[in-house]
Amino acid sequence: MDMDEAPGESLINALASTRIGNDTIFSWFARYQQAKSDGHDAVNGTVGSLLEDNGQLAINHVVDEMLRKAPPLEFASYAPLKGLPSFLDLSITLALGEHRSTLEEMGFAFTSTATPGGSGALFLAASNLCERGEAILLRDRYWGPYAGFLKGCGLGMATWPLLPEAGSEYPFFADTAFEKEVEQLASTQSTVMVWLNDPAHNPTGLTMSAEGRRAALDVMMASASRHPGIGHTLLLDAAYSLYADEPHGWGETIVETMEDGTPWPENFLITYAVSMSKSHTAYGLRTGALIAIHPDQNITERLRGILGVTGRQTWSAAPRLLQYTAAELHSNPETANAWSDERYRLQGLLIERRKAFVEACEELNVPINPTHDGFFGWLEHDNPESITEKCAAEHVYLVPLQGGVRIGLCAIPLASIRRVVETLQKALN
């Protein structure tokens, strides 16, 4: 073996050789755990799971109780390859809310495929809805694993800015840059695919306005009309949407666009990546779905077959237990209302923490990005590791990502919010 060659180099392919290092988020969480075990008064702002103020994992007790009552068959049996029909139907409603029935009346067709979590939904889209070698369009601040999903599917990445320049018509949507990037891809590729984590963006907590949503949809539909031979897909990553002030805002925007008489191009598709991890506090049961929306049922039926076969060839069938339990829970008004009440309680934790965080940042002149919903806040910075290391010296643990620091409001107790902001102020100064 060449002395400069890594061990086992001849045994792995080129892509595998790039899969090195530890996940940034989990490595910083491990540092928090070590500090805690060493007896330090440490603050955990690293994880992407909702914790109670006492530091324990927040669990929707309605979901937990129903999981424990499920028949043994639902624990042990395979689910159908595409998913339990009752769960697939539920997933569409969770994505679209009250706007589902309106879209059905307008003639829209839907298909849903069960996946192992929201990550499985992203994989289904990446592996089927764009050509290998082409680029997917993302905002320039995004959940880190996106890059790995795309690379593993032989895809590249293009970006547009998270925030527009000052004075833009849309305060939370860089429409000019977005339109430019969409046109560039439509002119050079055989597909255009956009991944948009909205509402409650990870890692910033940003949520687009209704006007911004409409502008983004108009850009995609206009580009599809100009380029009829180029497939256009808008993927909405809805992982955190049910903790947002407008959980079904995109459904409302689609309805309004159709009511205005905008023609839907045949080569335009909207998909939702749905995750049950956060909304049903069942992270480890790995249950989600990829939903596709189009006026032509022939297209959705074809996608149904393709996505089902992809799942079969990748993970076989998605886990059954939570599919069954969620469908049962939401089919009963009593348990559905109880789940919703508990979800509102958990959302209240996030609202209180974010309010305290924003107010403290304003008072102490800590320049955070706009943040509205969901699990996170964000500090833009060119050298995020320097900030997180200085915070870690004070035993406040946050996550450095490309372009800034992610502050896990989902994990920080309300009583520790001001300490986190004071530590950020000290680190910045």
The answer to whether 226 touches 357, Cβ cutoff 8 Å, is no
Give the H or E element holding residue 397. Answer: strand 396-397
List the structure tokens of 410.
């989902």
Q: DSSP character for 165?
A: P
Output the CA–CA distances (angstroms, integers) from residue 9 to 1, 20, 153, 154, 421, in the order listed. 9, 13, 21, 21, 46
Query: pLDDT digits over 164-205, tens only?
Result: 988 889 999 999 999 999 999 999 999 999 999 999 999 999
DSSP annotation of 17 reads G
* Phi and psi at residue 116, to the nearest 5°: -75, 85
Q: What is the DSSP string of 212-225?
A: HHHHHHHHHHHHHH
3-to-9, 14, 19, 366, 429 alpha-carbon distances in Å: 11, 19, 21, 50, 46
Give 353's contacts (C-beta < 8 A, 6+ positions apart).
Answer: 409, 412, 414, 417
Q: Look at residues 163, 50, 45, 53 and name the one whose alpha carbon lies nearest to residue 427.
A: 45
Backbone angles phi, psi at 13, to 5 degrees: -85, 175
Pull the structure tokens for residue 336.
């559905």
Distances (CA, A) of 214 to 170, 218, 233, 420: 10, 6, 15, 36
The identity of residue 261, as a single letter, is G
Q: Is the pTM of this model over 0.85?
A: yes
Q: What are the residues facing 293 on neighbouring strands? A: 110, 270
CA atoms of 276 and 8, how far apart (whole Å): 38
Q: 């008064």: which residue's tokens?
A: 41
Is the CB of residue 274 less than 8 Å from the CB of residue 153? no
Which 3 state secondary structure label does DSSP give 306?
helix
Give residue 356's Cα distance to chain centre: 24
Task: Tell which residue, 111, 83, 70, has the closest CA to residue 320.
Answer: 83
Give pLDDT tens digits for 315-360.
999 999 999 999 999 999 999 999 999 999 999 999 999 999 999 9
Go through the domains of the chain in sequence order and give each one's CATH number.
Answer: 9-60+337-428 (3.90.1150.10), 78-319 (3.40.640.10)
Residue 222 has, within 13 A of its CA and on its CB side, a CA count of: 11
pLDDT digits (tens, 9 = 90+) for 119-147: 999 999 999 999 999 999 999 999 989 99
Rounded to whole angstroms, the Cα distance separating 396 from 416 reads 10
Summary mean pLDDT of the chain: 96
Per-residue pLDDT at 371:
98
- Residue 16 pLDDT class (50, 70, 90 cuts): confident
Q: How far apart are CA 382 and CA 206, in angstroms?
A: 19
pLDDT at 4: 63
